[in-house]
């Protein structure tokens, strides 16, 4: 079972994309961190996003 259901993941990715379009100077990692708070993601969901969608070399 995936750590994040498809509908929730789609919402997170769309939200992150919108944020980056509004302010291209935002970092991808910072924007995903804001998404974790905005969508009240669980620690496992956060790990899934960090592992699969953040920039290489920027992981915690």
DSSP string across 17-35 = HHHHHH-TTS-HHHHHHHH
Q: Within 10 Å of residue 13's Cβ, how many Cβ atoms?
A: 14
> Considering its fold, how many domains does the chain have in total?
1
Q: Which range marks the domain in which residue 49 is found? A: 6-53
Q: Would you say residue 39 lies in a domain?
A: yes
pLDDT digits (tens, 9 = 90+) for 5-14: 889 999 999 9
pLDDT for res 1: 44
Give the DSSP letter of residue 14: H
Q: Would you say residue 23 lies in a domain?
A: yes
Q: Would you say residue 60 lies in a domain?
A: no
pLDDT for res 54: 77
How much is the pTM?
0.77
pLDDT digits (tens, 9 = 90+) for 12-59: 999 999 999 999 999 988 999 999 999 999 999 988 888 888 766 554
Q: Would you say residue 58 lies in a domain?
A: no
pLDDT for res 22: 96
């Amino acid at each position: 079972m995936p750590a994040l259901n498809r509908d929730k993941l789609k919402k997170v990715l769309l939200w992150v994309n919108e944020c980056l379009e509004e302010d291209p100077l935002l970092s991808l990692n910072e924007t995903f961190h804001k998404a974790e708070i905005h969508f009240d993601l669980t620690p496992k969901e956060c790990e899934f996003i960090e592992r699969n969608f953040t920039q290489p070399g920027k992981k915690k």
